[in-house]
Copies of this chain bind each other. A is one copy, B any other.
Amino acid sequence: MDFSYSDDTESLRAHVRSFIREQIIPYERDARQTPHGPTDALRQELVAKARAAGLLTPHASVDMGGMGLTHVQKAVVFEEAGYSCLGPTALNIHAPDEGNIHLMEAVASTAHKQRWLRPQVQGHIRSCFAMTEPAPGAGADPSMLRTTAVKDGDDYVIHGTKWFITGAEGASYAIIMARMEDGTATMFLSDMDAPGIRIERQMHAMDSCFAGGHCVVTFDGLRVPSANVLGEVGKGFRYAQVRLAPARLTHCMRWLGQARRAHDCAVAYAMERQAFGKPLLEHEGVGFKLADNDMDLHTAQLHILHTAWLLDRGDSCNFESSRAKVICSEASWRVVDRCVQVLGGRGVTDESVVMRIFQDMRAFQIYDGPSEVHRWSMARKIGQAHTRAQQVSA
């Protein structure tokens, strides 16, 4: 049992921390931020900073140009990066690229890696992950997938509509999930400028932290050569799991950073702002909220580290990553909501960064599986574990 980090990891943390505070936070009021995320010019400028600091795409393999971080190291780096809403963009560790890079490393062929992954790790291009569909298609229940891929000669022809496709606008390539004629699912790789891909519109979302925003994308007879199947045909659902378990956890890491930022703002304000004859913090009604924040932040961190450690050991962690996702998304949200309340009027305006964190974070309880789906998945696994334990003892 050892809760300490290695010296290397501590140095890395210190490096990322000062990088974010000194070089990235000053950009937070930069005008090149839109309701659909930072512009590409801003993104490139931030990425250049991270590149210069030796911190770009640190989770990618050393081979591909990253730092080959362990999951525990990612926990440290991603949380520090998340302290600024622009940090994950700067380090090239934001969704969906972060998860796509992980998936590509695990599954893509050498040719695919050369073509798409390497420039992505270098921060030159972005990608999107085209799975979610409008009703009655695949949402919380991925088995409802309606986008189809039909073999036609050496190509597959894809038809369907996707939405909430984060980062589609401005992405260079997409990973597309489609249903095969036999009911299985396959992932396909395609350049975004291929004929047959159309970005219908950018959706108006409450968050504004993802470069490219969230888009409705139509595949209207998109042709993908067989060679651009990602991994093997028919393994789409399995690969989605490969991507999701760590992707959920990296969301937890980044949002923990944002929650910590909100908490620090609230503490500073509660120390300084007076009411009824003393600083806010000395009112139990405020002080208890800050204590609860500390508890939630530490809880989230412990779950992240424990799950990351399990992933580093090679466990698949489907149960644990569901658990961490529910705990972290709900705990971080409670923290930010309390901060809004402590900050009063400032918390619901851009006088404080907390309003933006509040708007950016709410969806975290929904994407990559809403809390309800994870609770249900956990319940079934608890039942199965009970049955197994009984069989062992019988």
- A residues contacting B by CB (< 8 A) are 1-6, 72, 132, 135-136, 139-141, 144, 163-164, 203-207, 214, 267-268, 270-276, 279, 281-288, 290-292, 294-295, 298-299, 302-303, 305-306, 309-310, 323, 326-327, 340-341, 344-345, 347-351, 355, 358-359, 362-363, 365-367, 370-372, 374-376, 378-380, 382-383, 386-387
Residues of B contacting A141 with CB < 8 Å?
274-276
Residues of B contacting A358 with CB < 8 Å?
206, 362
Residues of B contacting A286 with CB < 8 Å?
372, 379
CA–CA, A355 and B358, complex, Å: 13
A/B interface sample: 23 pairs, CB < 8 A: A2-B2, A2-B309, A3-B306, A3-B310, A136-B274, A141-B275, A203-B349, A203-B351, A205-B349, A206-B349, A206-B358, A284-B285, A285-B288, A285-B376, A287-B383, A288-B379, A291-B378, A298-B323, A340-B366, A341-B365, A348-B362, A348-B366, A358-B362
CA–CA, A392 and B271, complex, Å: 16
Contact partner, A268, options B298, B366, B386, Cβ 8 Å? B386
CA–CA, A288 and B139, complex, Å: 20
**Residue in A136, A276, A345, A382 with the greatest tally of chain B CB atoms within 10 Å:** A345
Q: Which residue of B lies closest to A345 (CB)?
A: B164
CA–CA, A275 and B386, complex, Å: 19
Residues of B contacting A327 with CB < 8 Å?
295, 299
Residues of B contacting A380 with CB < 8 Å?
287
Q: How far is the CB of A252 from chain B (nearest CB, A)?
A: 13
Contact partner, A345, options B3, B309, B367, Cβ 8 Å? B367
Residues of B contacting A204 with CB < 8 Å?
349-350
Closest 9 CB pairs of A and B: A287-B379, A284-B284, A291-B378, A285-B372, A302-B302, A141-B275, A204-B350, A2-B2, A291-B375
Contact partner, A291, options B136, B203, B292, B379, Cβ 8 Å? B379
Residues of B contacting A205 with CB < 8 Å?
348-350, 355
Q: How far is the CB of A57 from chain B (nearest CB, A)?
A: 22
Residues of B contacting A359 with CB < 8 Å?
206, 359
CA–CA, A351 and B214, complex, Å: 12
A371 touches B139 (CB 8 A): no
Q: How far is the CB of A248 from chain B (nearest CB, A)?
A: 15
B344 touches A284 (CB 8 A): no
A382 touches B3 (CB 8 A): no
Q: How far is the CB of A369 from chain B (nearest CB, A)?
A: 10
Q: How far is the CB of A29 from chain B (nearest CB, A)?
A: 11
CA–CA, A344 and B72, complex, Å: 30
Residues of B contacting A214 with CB < 8 Å?
349
CA–CA, A9 and B382, complex, Å: 26
Residues of B contacting A363 with CB < 8 Å?
345, 348
